[in-house]
Each structure stands twice: as C-alpha cells, then as structure tokens.
Structure 1
Amino acid sequence: MSTYALDAVFRPRSVAVVGASPRERSVGRTVIRNLRDAGFSGQVAVVNPKYPQIEGIATVARLADLPFRPKLVVVSTPAATVPGVIAEAIAAGARAAVVVTAGLGHGPGSLQEQVRELARPHGLRIVGPNCLGVMAPHARLNVSFAARGPLPGDLALVSQSGAIASGLVEWGAARSIGFSAVVSLGDAMDVDFGDLLDWFAQDRKTRAILLYIESLRDARKFMSAARAAARSKPVVVVKSGRHAQGAKAAATHTGALAGSDAVYDAAFRRAGLLRVLALDELFAAAQTLGRLHSAPGRRLAMLTNGGGLGVLAVDRLVDLGGTVAALDAATVARLDAVLPPTWSRANPVDIVGDADAGRYTAALEALLASDDNDAVLVMNVPTALSAPVEAAEAVAGVLERRARSTPHKPVLGVWLGSPPEAVARLDAAGVPTYATESDAVRGYTYLVRHREAQQALMETPPSLPEDFVVDAAAAQAIVADALAQGRQWLDPLEVAALMQAYGIPIAETILAADPDAAVAAAAPMLARGTPVALKILSPDIVHKSDVDGVRLNLASADSVREAAAGILARARQLRPQADIHGVTVHPMIVKSKARELICGLADDATFGPVVVFGRGGTAVEVIDDKALALPPLDLRLAHDLISRTRVSRILKAYRDVPAADERAIALVLVKLAQLAADVPQVRELDINPLLADRDGVIALDARVAIGPYQESGKGPWHPRFVIRPYPKEWEREVALANGRHMQVRPVRPEDEAMFRAFFEKVTEEDLRLRFFSAVRHFSHEFIARLTQLDYARSIALVAVDPDNGQMLGAVRLLADANYQRGEYGILVRSDLKGYGIGWQLMRIMIEWAGSIGLATVEGQVLRENGTMLAMCRQLGFRVVPDREDPTMMNVALDVAAGNAAPAP
C-alpha cells in the first residue's frame, strides 16, 4: 500500500482514542494527555463504556456513537478486543489506526492475522501493533505514550523499538534538536520501513531520515524505497544484531563468508544509506544532520585555544579517514596579521589560551574564506584567561554575517565544560556542538560519507565490452537437467560448462572413472610437459579436503595412477555410503605472480542472492577478507566491491610483481551477478581460487549448489532479487513510418554519453517544451537522474538507430509509491519528428505501465505544445486545463483503455 492514507497518520483532522481509563499509568490516558499537551487542533474523542469522562473529555461507549468520522483511531484495549475495535473503526469510516496494544501474536490464526484480514480489504492503514505510537510535532500530534513530546524540527525518526524512539526524543529535547515525526513501528503488521521512507522522502518538513532497524521482512520494498529516499535526502540507519551467526549452515566458502549483518551492510551501501554502529553514533549523526546539510570534501580545518585538544582532533580525524586541511600562504599571511606570534602557524590553528572574542572572529573569518578546507571545527577550552560565552558569541556573529550568496561552509563546535548559554548561542546560529572533539570529528565524517554516497549513486559506470555475451539458455539447461535427477550440486563437468556459458575462464576438466582412465586423460597434458591435478568426484563429498581428495603436481603416468587409486580408496574408506564417480583430471596451472582470490554467490534469507569477493585459498574463513554486494552489478559497482577488501591492495603492482588485471576480475563479478539473475536455481556458487595476474583470470576450482524455486508472479526476473535487474525483456525492434527500423530498449546507467550527444541535437525550443524552462547546460547529476533508474518503480525507454548507435528519442515513466499512477515525459530529436518515433515510444511505455498494474498515466504539457497534445488525444488521453497554471494542460490516460488505442 505504501503511502496510501498515511496523511491520516501524520495529518489527521480528527482522532479517537479507544481504551483509555482514569488510572494514572494507563497507556490510553497517557496518549490522551500527550495529544492534549501537543495542542492538537482537530476533533478528539475518547471511547470507553465504563467511565463518563477521562482527562476532562466526555467519553462515548462505541466508535459508532461519535458525532463525526474519526480519521485516526488509537487502540490501547486488551489484545483480545483489538479485532473488534478495528472492525468498529472500519465501520466508523476511519482511514488509519495506531495499535499500541501488545500480545496479538503472529502467524495464521493469531489476533494480528485477524486484524490484517479485517483491515486490508478496506484500506485501513495500521501502525503497530505493540508500538509506542506516532508523534508529528508540526501537526501538533502526539498519539504515543512517550514521556515527552518532541520539539518541532526536520528529522524524521522511524524505529522498530519504542524504547529507542522515546530515548531519542528525550535526547533531542535536551539538545534543542527537533523532529518532523517520530514513528514506532512495533510489529509492523502493515505500515513498514518502505512505506515511511516513501512518505518522508516527499515530506517537505523532513530533511533527513533516521532509522533504527532490527530486521526486515520485505527487503525488495525496502530497497526500492530506500534508494529513492537516499537520492533526495540523508538517510541514517543503525541496525542491532551485528554479530548474529547467520552463516553457520553454509555449504560453501562464499556462503560462510556472507554473514547476515554483512549482507545488511551491503544493502545499506547499495541504497546510499549512511550506516552507524551504535545509538550514540545515531545521536551524533542526528545532531550533525539536524544542523548541517553537506560537506563538499574531506578537508577539515580546526580552530582552538588549546593545542592538546587540537592534536587529539587530528588523531581522530586521521583514524576515521578524514584529511587535515592545509593552510595556503594567503591564509597564513592573513592569520599572521591578526594573531599573536605564538599561534601555531599550522592546522590545527591554535590561537593560544588567552584568545578573546576578537581573535576567534578574525581566525574563523580567515578559515571560512580559504579554499583549502571544506569545513571548520571550532573548539574552546575553559581557561582563566578566556571567556567561553564571548567566544561563542563571536563565532555565531561571524556565521550570521556571512553573505547569503556565498556557499555556507559547515562549522562544528566543541565548548568543553562551558556554561549552557554558550552552547545555546551556538545552537541558535545553527552550529552543532559536541561533548568532545572525538564526537565532533565523527559528526563531520557523517557529512562526508553522505556526500560520497550520493556521488557514488550518481557515478556513470564504464561500458561493458561489446563481446559481453552470455548463453543463459545453455546454463539454464545444465541446471534443469541436474535438478531433474534430484541433485543438489553440479558435477565438475557441469560446472565447467556453466562457467563457459558465461565466459568465465576455468581450468580444463576431464572425468576419469578409474586409475587407468585417469592416466589416459592425463597423457596429452603430460606430453606437453604440464603436470596434472586429481580431485575426487562425488556428489556426496562437497569439501574434497575432508577425505584428502586432492593430489597436485603429478608429473608422470605412474604418479597419476598411484594418486588416483589412493584418492578412490581413501574416499571409499572414509565415506563408504558416498556415491563416488571417480576423479577429475586437470592441468596444473602455475602462476608464480598470481593472486589467489575467491568470488561467488551466496543466498541470504532476507536479501536473496549476494555476490561475494575476497582473498582466496584454503583458509578463506580464517582470513575473513571479503566484501559483499547485491546484484545486479555493473563494472563500477564491481570495482567498488573489489576496493573494499584488503586483498585489493596487492592487486596493484609492487616490487617485481605486475598489477593484476582488475577489469578482468570485475568482469567475472558482473558475470556472476548476471548468472544469478538468469538462473535463479543456483543457490550458492564458489570459485576458489580464482587466479589473477596481469594476463587475466582463471578459475582453478568451482562448486555450484542448486535447488528449485517458486515463481513470484511479479515479473520474469529472479523471484528473490531485491533490486530489479535490467529488464531485457523490454528490448524490441520497431518499424517507423519511413520504412526504417529503430531499436527500443530500457535506459542503462552507462548511457550518459549517448544522452549528452542527443541533447546537442535538440533545439532550445524543444527542450523548453519538455522541461518547461530554458535549459542550456546538462550537468552530470542531471543526466545521471535520467539514466540511473530503479526499474522496480520507473522505466525509461530509449530509441536507438541500429546503424550508427545514435539516440533518436526517449520516454520515461515514474510510478508513484502506491503503484496506482505514473507520470511520463518524452523527448524526440528535433530533426526526426514526423516518423512516428514518439508514438511508438508512448505505446511501449503505456504497455509497461499496464504490466506493473498502474491504473493511470498522467503528465503536464504546455498549452502551446500542440503536437504533444494532439498525440495524447489520439492515444486516448483526457486533456484538461490545469486549474492552477493557465499555461499548462493536464493529460491522463486510463491504462487499460490506452493499451487498445489504434495506430494513427
């Protein structure tokens, strides 16, 4: 349901509280008191048949007795009565309910399931059950049993824990930090993280979103909403349970490496969220984001009247990966002119213990004017010769005098042991203050990390090579045949064929049923002077080393025969019940300067397939040098995955060892992600080791676990992918009116250069008609938003000339969070109008809207754009004037009817 009816949760015109009593510690009475104290201006009712009034408000016996329809109902009755109250709320016309009652149970037959079955058909949104409640200070709404209401502000807090939510409210009040809303999800039976991310992403009163997560149930919905929200504002998340043992039962090395929290971390990174590890860090992030917007870079300048404090700040900054800003000659000269000769003449700028307000003013102005730093941390240590309040007043005055036209460089503060009035003055000037220099530096790094996450979301990936062609059909056939035989593992020959289907180099594999066959298979390799390796082949022996089932560097026929006989005998002795097929024979591949890597696929219960990369070899779990990413991947994401491991450092050149081919490694990771999308029956895949050197990569050993899966009914892609991969099924060739053809396909992130060349062939007038204003410069950020899509909720289709690869036009459609309506935009190259390009793009876009269940496609068209309006009418759109803007026309299409529109 997403944001449907959430206005009734955060901006209701009327509230009814069901279940309050006169008892002092009654949850319902606390809710009423909080609602009254918040100053809610709408209608309020209390439902309780036992008492005539509660908290001075006359009660009614039932919701049906109210003289108005309550938009929001708060339920605090005993668990057994909650389904009945929900039924009454539906009958009374309520649109949402906050159920603070606990103990409704879970699963089929539970009270919670009864409530779900009652509410869903009627569209009644439910927050909870088992929650603290909802607080929306700007609407003067507090329907919670928190001890204190939050101050109004621009931070939205969504927490699975009521205690965490209540604690953050208390923390914010003590520091004059306010919230746009505070929501306790509790059991999240209906309204969940995805719904609220969508809501707060569009909420004008929310500038940053804070999440406390214990677990997720709908990862696909969460990821789609989180990626959309993170593109528009900071989203900070803290998750508990970081050390849960999520990989105990894994059968492969990659599965063992992909612990549950590591997968959550990969998901947060992919969505562009800022993860912190503890509540105190969430508090620090909230404090920073509540005051500051962004930091343009990592370079921090520090201003202090205590040298020791400055040195500690430098140490912490370096620990956290920040950069100590340099002081250019002009800044040093300016500071020399206003500071005593004993100042530090370096960063940190130590203005000496007797610094007065004037010294703080002059030094801060010089640092703010410098281009060699990105932010300034101002610190004050109390001394007998300093005046902390006057210093705070000086800093605030500098900031308040800054010209509005100049970029506002972030300023943070630490006033050790200072009177409250000093901190209050800095707060009033928008300066976040911290208890210690360590907290302040950490707060600054949150700004930096958020900016870098945004930049990563907008980066254009390199194009895949033209020969990136996979044989998905062959791979699917291999796996289907093994599943038909009831097997859970592919044998080595099938693994080699699977790797070949995806162009992943792997060592030659030959099956030998007995020692004589092993000698025959090894003969050609030995004739070339290449030693061989033998490995036990049994579907019942997953880890070959468990039965001493590997022999290496066999250089003669006799050694091969002896090794094969020994391997088979030992395997039969140790695993007498195992089905042993023989041994596999491989050429020994010796690359003295190659690095041993591991890469593969793991399966996570929450997020589905995960790509794993790290240091390979037999001790991979002990070394534990790995990074994870959610598929699908492009080359940029693959390179980022590699860079997050320690082994990435030795992929570079060192001493007499040439650099490894990182692009070849990244390409393997992209191919594995593609394999996961194409063949969802692959549950785990393990390439260990993957040898990498300057000549490329080759897999020496690989294992693949398989299993059946159920179709999701939501699309042809992997049913457990939480990020929808590139929708290849929407690629098609379309005939034009002039007899030529064009290729139509979904837009890909690497299309930025093609879009930029396209815009050069569109007239200024056509650009104005499309974007409703003059457009003269297309920034990277602007084009990135056109080319980097969440295919789960938006589509952009591009028309391409098959002969020269030039872009002819594009149409895009963005679905709303409720998947009811979609807003479109279209643009065709100015010199190619009249060939039916726009018409065909619109038809395919409407078809896509129908495929995801949208009811309506709509848009705005300038009244003067007669060509577009005429095409809309031909396609069946309703065209009406915009009531608020006489220059605009609103167009809307019933999707089911639009799919049947005739061709012109």
Structure 2
Amino acid sequence: MSVRHLDALLHPASVAVIGASSRPGSLGAVVLRNLRGGGFGGPLWAVNPHASGIEGIPCVPDVASLPEAPGLAVICTPAPSVPGLVAELGAKGCRAAVVLSAGLKAPASDGGPSLEQAMLDAARPYLLRVLGPNCIGLLVPGIGLNASFAPANALPGQLAFVTQSGALATAMLDWARGRGIGFSHFISLGDSADVDFGDVLDYLASDSGTRAILLYVESVKLGRKFMSAARAASRNKPVIVVKSGRAPEGARAAASHTGALAGSDAVFDAAARRAGMLRVDTLEALFDAAETLARVRPLQGERLVVVTNGGGAGVLAADALSLAGGKLATLEPDTLAALSACLPATWSRGNPVDIIGDAPVQRYQDALRVLVAAPEVDGILFIHAPTAMVPAPDIAQACLPLLAQVRKPVLGCWLGGPAVAAAQAAWTGAGVPCYDTPERAAAAWMQRATHARNQLALSQVPPAALPGFQPARAQALSLVHEAVVEGREWLDEVAAKALLAAYGIPTVDTRRAHDADEAARLATRIGFPVALKVISPQIVHKSDVGGVALNLNSADEVRSEALRMRQRLARHSPDAVVQGYAVEAMAQRHGARELIAGLATDPVFGPVVLFGRGGIDVELSAQHAVALTPLNPLLARDLVERSGAGPLLAPSRGRPGVDLAAVADTLQKLSLLACDLDEVLELDINPLLADPSGVLALDARVRLSTGLRGRRAAPAIRPYPEDLEEMLVAAGAQFRVRPIRPDDAWRLGEFYAGATPADMRLRFFLSRREVPHSELARYSQIDYDRDMTFIAVEAGEDEAGARMAGEVRAVCDPDNETAEFAIQVATPWQNRGLGLALLTKMLGYLRSRGVQRVIGECLPENRLMLALAQRLGMTVRAGEEVMHLHLELAAPGP
C-alpha cells in the first residue's frame, strides 16, 4: 500500500488536461468546463496540438511544452495513447494522473502486455500515481477541484465517498446535491490499476477534513492490503461500506460442505466486521449511517427508549427495532414513577413512552429529563408528529439546551413535511441526527449498535490463544507435502484425521485397509461396532454413493459390506478407483450435537473458518457463520454466537450443554492449521460431535492445492510471526524477545504501572499515572503488516506470569519508507544492555523488510536514550522542545 504522491492527486497545486477540446460534448471539453466551473484556484493548462487556446485557457501542443510540471494531469485521450503520455508526464516531473480513458485492457501489441500494464510500466520509474483508468474522475470541493466528467459538481462537506462504479458516481452526486449532502472527497476508482481502496483509505484516515469514509465496493483485489488499511482507518473515524454482488460465486466451484457454505458475500461480511467497519445494504442507509456515526455521542450500550407524542409511531419504531435484533430498554420502577409524576394518567406506562398528542413544551422537557437520568437507558429516540397544540420549532428549541448536556446518544425523528422542517433543521444543525420515518431511525440505531460491536472487537483484550499448545507441525507438513508431490487433491479419510490429530483435534480411531479381509482384521483389533468408509480419490461425499456403512458388529459383516460397497460403486461411479477402506470405531456419544467446523479459501481474503449446525443436510441449514483467520478465544466464541447454533449447544430439557471451551479451542486450532499450511484449500469436519465431555471429529475431508490449482491467497490479516521469537541474554539475565500479542495487554499494563513517574514522562512526554485500557488494547493488537513491537519477557519455566522487562515498537508509514520508533526499559534493567539489544533487533527487522529510515524523538533530559542513539549511529538534532533522532538503514546483505 502507498500514499506516496496521493497529495498531488488529491490536493494538486496545478492541473493539466491532456486531450482538452472545444468540441461540445467531447470528454476533453466536459472535463475542462468542470475544472473551470469548480473554481479551482491554481494554474490550469490545456494540451491539444490543434489549438492555441480553449475558452481563454492557455493551450500547448504536447506535454513537453507545458510551462512546468503539472501537479495533476487529467488524461482524456484514446486508450492507445495513454502509456506514452504517462511516460512523458513522468519525465516532465508530474507525479499524479487521472486516466478517464476506457479500453486499456486491450493488448498494447499483438501478443504483448495490455495497455494498462504498459501504462503502469511507464509510471513506475517516476513513482507517478494513476487514478483509473476507466473512471469518472475525482472531486475535492474544498479546493474547487472537479477533475471529472460528472454532470454536476459536489457540495463541500466532511464525508468522503469512494466508488468503483462510474454510473453510480454520477447518480450519487446528483442525489446528494438534491439533499444538501456535501463531500470532502468524491473519488471514482474505475479499474483501480494503481490507486485502490487501500491507498485511499490510508490517505483519508489522516485527513482532518473528513469525518467519515463511505465506500461503494464491487470487488477487492488485494485482501491483506485492504484489511490493513481498513483496520487502521476505522480506528480513526467511521468507515461505512456498501458491497454489491451478493451471489456466492466462489461457492459454486467448491466441493466440500464448508466451501459451499462460505460464499464470497459472507466472507466480505466477516472482513468488514473484523476491520471495525459497518456494512449496510443500500446507498440510502450508507448516508444515514454516516449521519449517525459521525454525529452521535459514544455508545455505552444498546438499550433504546422511544419517546413520542404519537403511539402508532412509537410502535412502528419498536417493531423495526425488534425485527432487527435491537433492544428496547426495560424501564425500572423508579423511572416509571418519575414519568407518571410528569405525564398524564393515560400515558403508555412503558417503552415506547407515549406522552400523548396534546403535549405542551414542558411535558417534552420533563419526560426527557427523566429518561436522560435513567441508568437503564443507553440511548433516546425522540419522535414527534406535528399537532395544532404547539409548533414543532418551539419544541425543538426548548429541548435543545437539555440535549446539549446529554452524554447519551439521541436520535430525532420529525414526522411530516414543511411543518417540521425548521425543527429538524435546528436539531441537525446542533449535531442531533434526524430521520424521516421511525423505521429509518430504528435502522440508524441498529447501525450504531453494530458499528459499536465491531469497534469493540478492535479493543477487546482476549485471553491467550491455546496456552501451552504446540501442534505437531512437522508431522502435518509431511502428510500434506507427500500428497502434493503425488498430485493428490484430496487427503483420504485416514490422512485427514491424522492431520486433525496433529493439531490436537480429537478424532475416532481410524485405520486404513487395502481390501475386505484386512478391513475385517482391523475391525477386530479396534473393537466392535465399527464404521466402514470407502477410500477413493474420485469420491468426496461418500454417503451419496453408498460408501459408508455404520454399526458393523462382526468381522463377517465388515467383509461382506466391503464387497457390497465395491459393487455399489462399480454401478454408480464406474470411473472411481477404490484404494481401500477406512475402518473406524463407532463413537458412543449419546446426546451429542452434530456440528460442522471447517476451512474454506476465499480468492481475495484467503482462509476462513466456518462453524455451524452439521449433519447430512448441512447445506440446507442457515445456522452457520464464517470468520477470517487468525482466531483468538474471543473471536472463536463470537463465531459460535453468530452461527445461530447457540441454542443447540445450550442445556435443554434436562440435556446438559456442550463444552463450549472445547468447541472454541477446535476453531482456534483449525485457524492455526490454516495459517501454518498454505496448501490446505478446504477442510470439513462434519459431523463434529460436541457434548459436555468435549468434541470428537467423526468425518473429515481435506482438499489441497496441487500444482494445477496454484497456491491460495494469503490470510488477509497477517498471523502472529512466531519465527521472530528468540532467546536473548542481556544484563546478565535471559529474556524471551518476541512480537507482542493481543493477550499481552495485561502484561503491558503492569509494565507501565510499575514504571517510575520519571520513566513514564520520558516515554510519553507527559506525566501520566496509568495507561487506559483502550490504549493498552491498541498497543497490543498491532497490525504485523505495518507495525511491530518486540517485548522482552523474563525467561522462566512458565511464561504465563512472567513480567515484561522492556519494549521497543516501530510504526511504518504506508509506503514502508520510514518507521518511527519508541523504546522503554523497566528501571531495574536500564543501562545494562537490554535497551541496546532490543533496539538492535528492531533495526535488523526493519532493515529486512526494506524500511529506508528510522526516526524518533526524545526529551533532552533522556540521556540514556541519547547515548543509545549515538552508539547505534543515529543523527541527533535538537528541536524546540524535543531531540530528533534519525538513522538511514542500509539494505540487507545478500
């Protein structure tokens, strides 16, 4: 990902239109007209070999004749000319271009690369950024930039809108203008050959003029880049997305149950949730959500109270909330008594709070005061229908001073038209989001609740993932690599269960038999009853073709069933090659629930974990959900809850509930398997039996990536880099130095709590007694793709309670050019070599990932840091209040 030169694209000092024209209706004429009409204040040039000037704008024949390098070039010429023009612009010194031209997917020459690739090749030597091709362009109303061929300009505002659809862009501009919605940026990505969602998200995340980012997504090309940027952006401001294309294309090609259930739309849903974004279904909801999330006060809970002067409107809101899975607040007796004291005897005496249609201003104020003070109320939806008793503007103005002091979120719904327009405008102007109908208001509250849940997932501190567990990775790798070398796309039943066992997932005793007689002998050794399953590379769903026999109670039964099974396959699947049989013990788990757990591969976001209700009719059930890898205990439990299978797992009618910890552990182990083994494309455990004593995998299928299929996409979120762990001796002691993990938040908190006030001031440049939980979560849940923190933990037999002795962290810019570092060592270990060892490790890591320079700051009195910096060859420069540290990193050796 890169924000390099995006400032030239999105905040140019000058603009040149390549292919400008005076011909009415031509692309070059429309773009030039829009640039002039937008009010852009910088120099504007036109490039056209057949004109000396166009409508008063200076015109030159070619790029070389421009008086200086333009900050931004807008290319409106036919596709074959684009690569050459990009090369000329780069040589001139231009660093950003908008390519409106379509047709660049065509080959540049017979058998050669596409015009698009030729364009990128021409841009690369100059690091010239390209928006498009085949896009509408971009608008930045705050600087009067309309570098597009949209039919209308955009109003200035604080919403950024980024879309892949050109037709949608033009319609959305017209729609938003009619409703007075303004934008900080309006960007059409087109084919996203260079600048894509990840780049734009990184730029807009730090743009002070943007309070929310709205995305219209048709497809994502690079899952990890998108997720990294989206997670970073959504920590700073609301990111709301509409994703088109809900058909599960990926599922159509899947052969396993898991692959069929984990459709691309479900995976994108999981990605949006994991990134802390909010996904909505419609464009109207997109703007409603932007209004709600950017204005409403922080959410402390989901319990909503509805206060209204019309009972019917309140019921509509309550119904909409209930259908969406929302929570109406249950009013406590004290709250009900307080409301009864200020409302007519005929009030609704519950939630919704109907204050009756003849309510004067004072009644509105009194009811709001009670509800604002009620501890069981987390948010208020105010609904008003116009009456002849009191003008709506009077009610709005009387309530605003009270709402200004409220910490709880308040939403408004002013029903009607001209009679309530002034009231709605007053509340909107005061920062209270308002909606036209009770249903839209309820939907907006649910958007807020969903976004809060997704944000909470970014700040939760999970317990350690599978403490003390180490998979038999060498055994698993051997199983997989042997199959790949032999060109086997599917592991057989025995190998699949051996793979699960290597990752600590309990399986039934399963053995391979080559013929009917060997199957009978193995069954006798295992003990009856047994199950018999055919082994054939051509048979994936064995029960569909009579390839499974259960509850066989003697060697003769096993032998006879094996022969009959071979006969059935000869009739139904004559091309299937029978390689033998799997003989396994019958599981005696009466009352166990049948579940499915597995892995699938999304072509963009990589491996995902699926969980839900299992059994032979699993694909008919809607009770399943998917989650991106890697999983921690909290994410695994969340996957179980979202699957809808929760009631199946709970105690019911005297039957005890299942061991949920064992289920969550299994999901985490599958996630670990997916992160470790790139060759695993799909994996089914169906059924996975679960009961109070744990889980047991009865049937397993594993699909591998062979040479013909290619390798799968990498996990969209980089897993914990275990290979960076090492033991280190410093200060006369031994330490385990490793990347920080999310479950280290408590350890980090203790580390800061044990520091002296002086050390905390040197670290944070201010006096602080403690670090908030939210900050600890952010410091420990890092994105290993762009950040790194190494911690030194005192070595011992049990790391679970070991203390931190030091930390060094570095945050890389999106271009991976510069990393800013910070370091802190516990007082007992200072000036004893631990800081030098930590910072040396960090510099080596940054050098290995291609970072070019390291910068940092420290207070002038931090003499230990200054001495350490000088010892490592850093340049030290005095600033007004801090010392600036700088080190150019040499490239890693061969």
TM range (shorter): over 0.9
Taking the TM superposition and a 5 Å limit, the aligned residue runs for 1:680-695 are 680-695=678-693
Cα offset, 1:586, TM superposition = 0.9
- Paired residues of 1:730 and 1:746 also in contact (CA < 8 A): yes
Give the letter aligned to residue 436 of structure 2. A
Taking the TM superposition and a 5 Å limit, the aligned residue runs for 1:399-548 are 399=403, 402-403=404-405, 407=407, 409-419=409-419, 420-526=421-527, 530-548=528-546
Cα offset, 1:559, TM superposition = 1.8
Taking the TM superposition and a 5 Å limit, the aligned residue runs for 1:648-667 are 648-667=646-665
Cα offset, 1:641, TM superposition = 1.0
Give the letter aligned to residue 249 of structure 1. A
Cα distance in 2 between the residues matched to 1:513 and 1:109? 52
Cα distance in 2 between the residues matched to 1:604 and 1:534? 33
In structure 2, the residue matched to 1:862 is 859
Secondary structure at 1:552 match in 2? strand
Cα distance in 2 between the residues matched to 1:102 and 1:813? 42
Instruction: Please list the CA deviations of residues 457-480 of structure 1 after superposition, one character each: whole Å capped at 9, or x if unmatched.
Output: 111112234431111111111111
1:706 equivalenced with 2:692 (yes/no): no
Cα offset, 1:689, TM superposition = 0.8
Cα distance in 1 between the residues matched to 2:469 and 2:20? 65
Secondary structure at 2:468 match in 1? coil
Query: Percent identity between the aligned chains?
Result: 46
- Structure 1 runs not aligned, ≥5 long: none
Distance change (3 Å), C-alpha of 1:25 and 1:504 = same
Instruction: Please list the CA deviations of residues 621-647 of structure 1 after superposition, one character each: whole Å capped at 9, or x if unmatched.
Output: 112422111111111111111111122
Cα distance in 2 between the residues matched to 1:458 and 1:536? 48
Distance change (3 Å), C-alpha of 1:899 and 1:585 = closer
Secondary structure at 1:454 match in 2? helix
Q: Normalising to structure 2: TM-score of the pair?
A: 0.95
1:165 equivalenced with 2:169 (yes/no): yes
In structure 2, the residue matched to 1:28 is 28
Taking the TM superposition and a 5 Å limit, the aligned residue runs for 1:849-888 are 849-882=846-879, 886-888=880-882
- Paired residues of 1:677 and 1:718 also in contact (CA < 8 A): no
Instruction: Please list the CA deviations of residues 328-384 of structure 1 after superposition, one character each: whole Å capped at 9, or x if unmatched.
Output: 455555545554444334332222223344443443344334433222222221334
Give the letter aligned to residue 206 of structure 1. T
Cα distance in 2 between the residues matched to 1:380 and 1:830? 61
Which stretch of structure 1 is more off in the superposition, 21-30 or 662-671?
21-30
- Paired residues of 1:683 and 1:707 also in contact (CA < 8 A): yes
Secondary structure at 1:392 match in 2? helix
Cα distance in 2 between the residues matched to 1:699 and 1:244? 27
In structure 1, the residue matched to 2:548 is 550
Cα distance in 2 between the residues matched to 1:100 and 1:574? 56
In structure 2, the residue matched to 1:318 is 322
1:53 equivalenced with 2:53 (yes/no): yes
- Paired residues of 2:603 and 2:713 also in contact (CA < 8 A): no
- Paired residues of 2:155 and 2:177 also in contact (CA < 8 A): yes
Cα distance in 1 between the residues matched to 2:238 and 2:521? 64
Give the letter aligned to residue 694 of structure 1. P
In structure 2, the residue matched to 1:560 is 558
- Paired residues of 1:828 and 1:837 also in contact (CA < 8 A): yes
Distance change (3 Å), C-alpha of 1:749 and 1:295 = same
RMSD after superposition: 2.3
Cα offset, 1:152, TM superposition = 2.2
In structure 1, the residue matched to 2:193 is 189
Cα offset, 1:722, TM superposition = 1.8
Cα distance in 2 between the residues matched to 1:106 and 1:160? 20
1:262 equivalenced with 2:262 (yes/no): no
- Paired residues of 2:91 and 2:126 also in contact (CA < 8 A): no
Cα offset, 1:767, TM superposition = 0.8
Distance change (3 Å), C-alpha of 1:487 and 1:55 = same
Secondary structure at 1:733 match in 2? strand
Cα offset, 1:85, TM superposition = 2.7
In structure 1, the residue matched to 2:303 is 299
Instruction: Please list the CA deviations of residues 876-899 of structure 1 after superposition, one character each: whole Å capped at 9, or x if unmatched.
Output: 1111122xxx22011111122899
Distance change (3 Å), C-alpha of 1:396 and 1:46 = farther
Q: Normalising to structure 1: TM-score of the pair?
A: 0.94
Which stretch of structure 1 is more off in the superposition, 503-512 or 45-54?
45-54
In structure 1, the residue matched to 2:609 is 611
Taking the TM superposition and a 5 Å limit, the aligned residue runs for 1:457-856 are 457-526=458-527, 530-708=528-706, 720-738=714-732, 740-803=733-796, 805-856=802-853
Cα distance in 1 between the residues matched to 2:690 and 2:476? 24
- Paired residues of 1:761 and 1:831 also in contact (CA < 8 A): no
Cα offset, 1:778, TM superposition = 2.2
Give the letter aligned to residue 605 of structure 2. F
- Paired residues of 1:356 and 1:390 also in contact (CA < 8 A): no
- Paired residues of 2:308 and 2:355 also in contact (CA < 8 A): yes
Cα distance in 2 between the residues matched to 1:646 and 1:418? 45
Cα distance in 2 between the residues matched to 1:363 and 1:152? 38
Cα distance in 2 between the residues matched to 1:414 and 1:162? 34
Cα distance in 1 between the residues matched to 2:712 and 2:743? 23
In structure 2, the residue matched to 1:215 is 219
- Paired residues of 2:60 and 2:66 also in contact (CA < 8 A): yes
In structure 2, the residue matched to 1:6 is 6
Secondary structure at 2:839 match in 1? helix
- Paired residues of 1:876 and 1:897 also in contact (CA < 8 A): no
Which stretch of structure 1 is more off in the superposition, 350-359 or 231-240?
350-359
Q: 1:890 aligns with which of 884, 890, 893?
A: 884
Cα offset, 1:398, TM superposition = 4.2
Secondary structure at 2:295 match in 1? coil
Secondary structure at 1:412 match in 2? strand
Cα offset, 1:179, TM superposition = 1.7
- Paired residues of 2:297 and 2:409 also in contact (CA < 8 A): no
Cα distance in 2 between the residues matched to 1:314 and 1:632? 38
Cα distance in 2 between the residues matched to 1:189 and 1:480? 36
- Paired residues of 2:466 and 2:665 also in contact (CA < 8 A): no
In structure 2, the residue matched to 1:96 is 96
Cα distance in 2 between the residues matched to 1:185 and 1:274? 21
Instruction: Please list the CA deviations of residues 534-560 of structure 1 after superposition, one character each: whole Å capped at 9, or x if unmatched.
Output: 111122222212320111111123222
- Paired residues of 1:177 and 1:287 also in contact (CA < 8 A): no
Distance change (3 Å), C-alpha of 1:576 and 1:319 = closer
In structure 2, the residue matched to 1:228 is 232
Cα distance in 1 between the residues matched to 2:490 and 2:119? 43
In structure 2, the residue matched to 1:134 is 138
In structure 1, the residue matched to 2:256 is 252
Distance change (3 Å), C-alpha of 1:660 and 1:335 = closer
Cα distance in 1 between the residues matched to 2:705 and 2:265? 24
Which stretch of structure 1 is more off in the superposition, 565-574 or 703-712?
703-712
- Paired residues of 1:664 and 1:697 also in contact (CA < 8 A): yes
Cα distance in 2 between the residues matched to 1:238 and 1:294? 23
- Paired residues of 2:309 and 2:384 also in contact (CA < 8 A): yes
Instruction: Please list the CA deviations of residues 768-809 of structure 1 after superposition, one character each: whole Å capped at 9, or x if unmatched.
Output: 100111121222111101111111111111101112622111
Which stretch of structure 1 is more off in the superposition, 420-429 or 37-46?
420-429
Cα offset, 1:619, TM superposition = 1.0
Distance change (3 Å), C-alpha of 1:499 and 1:842 = same
Cα distance in 1 between the residues matched to 2:330 and 2:153? 44
Secondary structure at 1:246 match in 2? helix
Which stretch of structure 1 is more off in the superposition, 847-856 or 134-143?
134-143
- Paired residues of 1:294 and 1:410 also in contact (CA < 8 A): no
Give the letter aligned to residue 242 of structure 1. R
